[in-house]
Amino acid sequence: MEKEKFRHRPEYFRELPGTVPGTLNVPSPHPDPQLVLIDYSDTSAMRVSIDSPEDCAAYLDQVSVSWLDVQGLGNIGLLQRLGEVFQLHPLVLEDVVNVPQRPKVESYGDQLVIIIQMVRFVPELKQHFTEQISFILGKHYLLTVQEEPEHDFFDPIRTRIRLDKGIIRSMGSDYLAYALLDAIIDGFFSVLEAYGEELDALEDSVISKPNQQTLQQVYQMKRKMSHLRHLIWLQRETLSSLLKQYSSFFSQELGIYLQDCYDHVVQMLDIVESYRETCATLMDVYLSAASNRMNEVMKTLTVISTIFIPLTFIAGIYGMNFNPGTSPFNMPELNAYWGYPLVLAVMLAIALGLVFFFWRRGWFKKIS
Local confidence band at 210 (pLDDT 50, 70, 90 cut-offs): confident
Q: Per DSSP, what are the bridge partners of residue 105?
A: 114
CA 228 to chain centre: 6
What is the C-alpha separation between 205 and 282, in angstroms, rounded? 10
Q: β-strands 65-71, 34-40: how paired?
A: antiparallel
Contact 188, 239 (CB under 8 A): no
Lowest average pLDDT, out of 43-57, 133-147, 175-189, goes to 43-57
DSSP 245: T
Q: What is the CATH number of domain 2-288?
A: 3.30.460.20
Residue type, 68: L
Mapped onto helix, strand or coil, the DSSP state of residue 71 is: strand
Share of the chain above pLDDT 70, in %: 92
Averaged pLDDT, 225-233: 94
> What is the overall mean pLDDT for the chain?
85
What is the C-alpha separation between 128 and 134, in angstroms, rounded? 19
What is the model's pLDDT at position 363?
67
| E strand map for the chain | 34-40, 45-50, 65-71, 104-108, 111-122, 127-137, 141-146
Averaged pLDDT, 213-227: 91
What is the model's pLDDT at position 27?
64
- Any idea where the domains of the chain sit in the sequence? 2-288, 293-367
Local confidence band at 6 (pLDDT 50, 70, 90 cut-offs): very low
Contact 103, 115 (CB under 8 A): yes
Q: Which helix (H) or strand (E) holds 308?
A: helix 254-318
Q: In degrees, to the nearest 5, what angle opens at C-alpha 121 toward C-alphas 117 and 220?
A: 95
Q: What is the pLDDT of residues 251-284, one digit of tens each?
A: 988 999 999 999 999 999 999 999 999 999 998 8
* pTM of the predicted structure, to 2 decimals: 0.77
Contact 259, 243 (CB under 8 A): yes
Residue 216 scores a pLDDT above 50: yes
